[in-house]
Amino acid sequence: MKIVEISKENQSDFKDYLKDESNISSSFEGQIIIPRSELELSEFLASVSTSNSPVYVSGKRTGLVGGAVPIVESEISNNTVLVSLESLNSISNFRETTNGAFIDVLAGTSLSDLITELDQNYPDYFFPVDPTERSASFGGMLSTNASGSRGFKYGSVRNWVESIRVVLVDGSILELNRGIDKLNNLGFKYQDKEYSFNEIYKPKTKNSIGYNYFPNMDLLDLFIGSEGTLGITTSITLRLLKKPKSVFFVLQLFEKVTDALSFIKKLRSEKQIDTLSIEYFDSKALEFASKSNALILSLFNDFLNNSRCAAVYFEVSSIDPDFEFEKINELVSSCNAKMDNSVFAETVKEQEDLKRFRHAVPEGINKEIAKRRLVHTRIRKVATDMAVENEFLGEVYDLYEKTFSNAGLEYVVFGHGGDNHFHVNILPRTNDEVDLAVSSYESLAESILKMNGSVAAEHGIGRLKKKLLKIQYPPEVIQQMIDIKKIFDPNFRLNIGVLF
Ligand SMILES: Cc1cc2nc3c(=O)[nH]c(=O)nc-3n(C[C@H](O)[C@H](O)[C@H](O)COP(=O)(O)OP(=O)(O)OC[C@H]3O[C@@H](n4cnc5c(N)ncnc54)[C@H](O)[C@@H]3O)c2cc1C
């Protein structure tokens, strides 16, 4: 096992471990532990289990809520430990069974490594969940219950996890299998003790808001989405799907936002088309993406002068392209647009280009934020991650526009329109605007709940959105989550400051 001692003197050499994509950072002093096996991790944690040492958990640090950043909040911070899962990185044991196809990954394996492995060796199969950031690790994705654009069709990571192995903070190891290790109604047994809690009600929308707890649930679903606060996942069995025979992607332009939103509603209720994802981009998002994509820029130059234009990007699993094309054409025309103003991607190369275009939006925004931070040091991106029920698509869009334009903030709207889940990215221009952005964002939470929504749909609560968790749930539900944590982490040492 690799152990690195971090002190004030050498902190800057290891700064990548001390921040994530949320741009918060830590002045951590302590040990970074890089285990090469589950056994090494388990033995190490057992050896420090009688100390009070806080233990933090780090995957690939692409998280957007600071969950992997080891911020030491208490005074008793001797011997702090940051566990990095980077060396638990392998893919094995692909198998086809009568129940489907499965593959095992160690928790530090990235999504892009799995995609490469499947493409090279098992090209008939794919992993259905596709968060935009493919360098994310499976341990991280499981811990935030990540989803992404294809969440529209396939839901979140939770749906594709068959079993997990977890090392608890005292070094003990749990193996949890779907369909086998279950709650008995609302109770379960752990280390010869019986526990029972009330059901935790979750909105029906996408969500990543603390622990799951419902009757007869699979116990692994308690750990999925727990943001590393219950245990450290070391390995995961994933369920795979057969690739659709053929897929095409479309980026369709609309002159008005309202037309784009109507199109989203129509497309998602069109049952004769097998739609995998429905993503939305406002004109500012298109502008950011176009900067890195000359093709898009040349096609949409005229539109880009129209600040109310918008685009919908969608992916279709195709059976009968002529029929699907005809149907889409009908839907597009009924929303005052023309398919002439679209990009249609059939080949792998064309599809990769469109995916790059999609990824260029957050990347372009991040670059702009980094530029602004050189002048105003507190500047960071503030981004919404809330989802509401289908009937509130237009209402939630209006709410965002009203809230952020009334506050005088600069913002970009894009994201998972098919799930009523927009990532409104606010780009503060001054340090004061960061506070204004955060308070404007937080002011939305009550309205989101009225739309039966979730305040954190896929990125988790982490360190940055704890205030929102308190709006989502009353104190007794949060206390129940804390009581559950204490079963697996009695001294409250694991990922302190995340969720609670
Ligand atoms: C450009 C961009 C686009 C993104 N798009 C999406 C998207 O479409 N959908 C989406 O869901 N997310 C998205 N994200 C967010 C991010 O990629 C996900 O949250 C991802 O799940 C984080 O994985 P990670 O390995 O980077 O985890 P980290 O950031 O390292 O950690 C995230 C959390 O998981 C915990 N953790 C990590 N590994 C383990 C483990 N083995 N056991 C227990 N806990 C662990 C950490 O303590 C932390 O609380 C995006 C991020 C970026 C930068």
Give the pLDDT score at 42: 98
Helices (H), 129-215: 138-144, 151-154
Same domain, 407 and 282: yes
Instruction: List all residues 6 or more positions away from 399 whose beta carbon is below 8 Å from its beta carbon.
Output: 444, 447
Q: Which pair of structure tokens corresponds to residue 258?
A: 């309202």
Residue 306: pLDDT above 80?
A: no
Give the pLDDT score at 72: 84
Instruction: List all residues 6 or more positions away from 365 whose beta carbon is below 8 Å from its beta carbon.
Output: 288, 381, 412, 425, 427
Same domain, 278 and 418: yes
Same domain, 124 and 69: no
Give the pLDDT score at 277: 96
For the residues 143-150, what does the mean pLDDT come to? 94
Q: Assess whether the C-beta atom of 207 lies below 6 angstroms from ligand 1.
A: no
Q: How far is the CA of 136 from the centre of ligand 1 (A)?
A: 6
Same domain, 254 and 359: yes
Q: Assess whether the C-beta atom of 143 lies below 6 angstroms from ligand 1.
A: yes
Q: Which of 243, 276, 300 is at the close of a domain?
A: 243
The amino acid at residue 67 is G
Helix (H) or strand (E) holding 58: strand 55-58
Give the pLDDT score at 299: 67
Same domain, 165 and 211: yes
- β-sheet with 2-6: strand ranges across: 2-6, 30-34, 81-84, 55-58
Is residue 493 situated within a structural domain? no
| Cβ proximity of 187 and 195 under 8 Å | yes
Q: Assess whether the C-beta atom of 64 lies below 6 angstroms from ligand 1.
A: yes
Q: Return contacts of 305-309, CB within 8 angstroms, 24+ apart.
A: 306/255, 307/283, 308/255, 308/256, 308/257, 308/283, 309/253, 309/254, 309/255, 309/256, 309/257, 309/283
Q: How far does Cα 409 stand from its chain's mean position?
A: 25
Is residue 480 situated within a structural domain? no
The CATH number for 223's domain is: 3.30.465.10
The CATH number for 366's domain is: 3.40.462.40
6 phi and psi, to 5 degrees?
A: -110, 125
d(CA 93, CA 104): 6
Q: Assess whether the C-beta atom of 230 lies below 6 angstroms from ligand 1.
A: no
d(CA 70, CA 56): 6
State the residue range of the domain holding 166: 91-243
Of 80, 144, 152, 380, the residue with max ligand 1 atoms within 8 A of its CB, to mutate for a pocket test, comes to: 144
Is residue 63 situated within a structural domain? yes
Q: Which of 138-152, 309-323, 344-358 has the lowest mean pLDDT?
A: 344-358
For the residues 434-463, what does the mean pLDDT come to? 96
Of 32, 132, 145, the residue with max ligand 1 atoms within 8 A of its CB, to mutate for a pocket test, comes to: 132
Same domain, 203 and 263: no
| Number of domains present in the structure of the chain | 3
pTM for the whole thing?
0.94
Give the pLDDT score at 77: 59
Q: Per-residue DSSP letters for 24-38?
A: -B----EEEEE-SSH
Same domain, 199 and 269: no
Of 42, 84, 137, 222, the residue with max ligand 1 atoms within 8 A of its CB, to mutate for a pocket test, comes to: 137
Q: Assess whether the C-beta atom of 168 lies below 6 angstroms from ligand 1.
A: no
Is residue 472 situated within a structural domain? no
Helix (H) or strand (E) holding 106: strand 100-106
